[in-house]
Chains A and B, each alone.
Chain A
Amino acid sequence: MELADEIYMKEIQNGRLEAMAVLFDRYQVRIYNYFFKLSFDASQSEDLTQQLFIRALQYRNSFRPEQGRVKTWLYRMAVNLHIDHKKLQAKHRMTVMPLSDVHGNVAEVTSGNFTEADYSTLDKALMQLEPDQRQLIILSKYQGLKYEEVATIMGITVANVKVKMHRAILALRTLYFSKPNGTYEL
């Protein structure tokens, strides 16, 4: 049975920093994919994931078990890191990678019953959502976090998460099903 993240975090706060490697192993894939779904930019996701774990190491003493779990602490840091990055990006007017570069040629059948074109359409619909809605969909549906966890990360109530999620899902559905595959313009 795996030990809880909080036990490792306590060890880290007590000076046994090697335990951070366990948390890194547990979360690096999820966090990298979280950043990737927000931006569809591999280089940016790589940078932000590196920064997140170094920040977690530096600010390890800011974790308070009474304020939530390690998972929500890490994701909250990731959300803030992404917000900071977007502000910087807006300041320097950096360009966003077109989704065609991510997906390449479409039409090949992939895992499950979905084709590459389906995933391309889904990603384009995701990118057209309002930033807050995209954040919610990624945290809840892609990252599999519970509404309570999303509420802690976003700093809003669970009731508010439910309402916002409902709107976000309907918006995503409308974007996904209203246009044929591959015709979205970003």
Chain B
Amino acid sequence: MNCEEAMQAFLNARETGAALNKAEAQHIEKCEVCRREIAEIVHLFAEISNDEVLPPPPSIRQVFETALANEIAISQKTIAPRRGIFRSRFTTMAAACVLLIVGIGIGHLVTRTRDNRPYPEAFNGNKPDSIASTLYQSSSDRIETINRSVENNTPDDSLLVTLTRILANDKNSNVRMAALYALAKYADSPYVHECLIASLARETEPVIQVLLINLLMEKKGDGAIDAIQNFIKNEGIRKEVKMVAQTKLRSL
């Protein structure tokens, strides 16, 4: 029995609550180095277990509750029974393949003409949005402001422009998500719809990509399906997100 073995035995015993065997106990009792090392480790563990537990900031709950409410609303709208020829898994897969091939073809045509299409104001240039990032210091403040700004349900054009700018440019993904949830209420507006489509092409955060796909599929506005089909073709997209997009397209 050497010191390293004794220390390993001591740590295992502490983790599992098991007793040390005779040889291990005797070594530790006689070895001053081991005893000092154990005393220091016990001190460390005691300090760790007494360490302060920090309360999370309230914005975490706010964002979660907004996301949960939105997810519940989306799931209630999208649950539909399978029926007819799509009851068979094989038929569903065959239909999905046909849809995908047609989609790729359409997407290819659209991509060739897309460069000429004017983007909404919020997506011109790559400069970060100054309104959101300078007026409010922390991401929590920005999220709270976004949530408050849409409480009255009567936004003017300037608010929508600001929200779309935040969605397009804010460096914090949670702030972008809050902006997306706020914009979701006005997704029927052609301007907002166009911004959501543009956002899908540039968004890098998988969770927001999934939210955008859900929202676009729910509204099914002009260009939404094309945008999602183009999105799927992007090699940099995570496979889990692609699967969500493909599932949504298959459900059409």
Listed in ascending order, the chain A residues whose CB lies under 8 Å from chain B are: 15, 17-18, 20-21, 24, 28-29, 32-33, 36, 42-43, 46-47, 49-51, 53-55, 57-59, 62, 110-112, 114, 118-119, 122, 141-142, 146-147, 162, 165-166, 169-170, 172-173, 176-177
A122 touches B55 (CB 8 A): no
Is B61 close to A, CB under 8 A?
A: yes
Is B229 close to A, CB under 8 A?
A: no
A51 touches B46 (CB 8 A): no
Between A and B, 10 residue pairs with Cβ closer than 8 Å are A24-B61, A47-B173, A47-B174, A50-B59, A50-B177, A54-B67, A112-B50, A146-B15, A162-B11, A170-B7
Q: Which of B41, B50, B53 contacts A173 (CB 8 A)?
A: B41
In the docked arrangement, what's the CA distance between A54 and B178, Å?
12
Tell me which residues across on chain B come within 8 A of A173, comparing CB atoms: 37, 40-41, 44
Name the distance in Å between B15's Cβ and chain A's nearest Cβ: 6
In the docked arrangement, what's the CA distance between A24 and B63, Å?
12
Listed in ascending order, the chain B residues whose CB lies under 8 Å from chain A are: 7-8, 11-12, 15, 37, 40-41, 44-57, 59-61, 63-65, 67-68, 71-72, 75, 79, 138-140, 172-174, 177, 205-207, 210-211, 240
Q: Which of B47, B68, B240 contacts A122 (CB 8 A)?
A: B47
In the docked arrangement, what's the CA distance between A107 and B210, Å?
48
Name the distance in Å between B109's Cβ and chain A's nearest Cβ: 31
Tell me which residues across on chain B come within 8 A of A111, comparing CB atoms: 50, 52
B68 touches A28 (CB 8 A): no
CB-nearest residue of chain B to A36: B54
Name the distance in Å between A46's Cβ and chain B's nearest Cβ: 5
B72 touches A29 (CB 8 A): no
Using known A-B contacts A47-B139, A118-B47, determine if residue A28 contacts B71 with beta carbons closer than 8 Å: no
Tell me which residues across on chain B come within 8 A of A142, comparing CB atoms: 48, 51
Q: Which of B46, B140, B177 contacts A112 (CB 8 A)?
A: B46
B11 touches A51 (CB 8 A): no
Q: Which 7 pairs between the two chains have the least Cβ-Cβ distance?
A: A32-B56, A112-B50, A50-B63, A50-B174, A54-B67, A141-B48, A53-B64
Q: A21-B68, A53-B64, A165-B11 are in contact. List 8 more A-B contacts (CB 8 A).
A: A17-B71, A32-B56, A32-B60, A33-B53, A58-B210, A58-B211, A122-B48, A176-B40
CB-nearest residue of chain B to A48: B174
In the docked arrangement, what's the CA distance between A24 and B205, Å?
21
- Max chain B C-beta neighbours (<10 A), residue from A58, A141, A165: A58
Using known A-B contacts A47-B139, A51-B174, A173-B44, determine if residue A29 contacts B68 with beta carbons closer than 8 Å: no
B207 touches A122 (CB 8 A): no
A32 touches B54 (CB 8 A): yes
Tell me which residues across on chain A come within 8 A of B37, comparing CB atoms: 170, 173
Tell me which residues across on chain B come within 8 A of A62, comparing CB atoms: 240
In the docked arrangement, what's the CA distance between A55 and B64, Å?
10
In the docked arrangement, what's the CA distance between A33 and B138, Å?
19
In the docked arrangement, what's the CA distance between A57 and B44, Å?
37
In the docked arrangement, what's the CA distance between A173 and B52, Å?
20
Q: Which of A29, A110, A146, A169 contacts B55 (CB 8 A)?
A: A29
Q: Which of B46, B75, B139, B207 contacts A43 (CB 8 A)?
A: B139
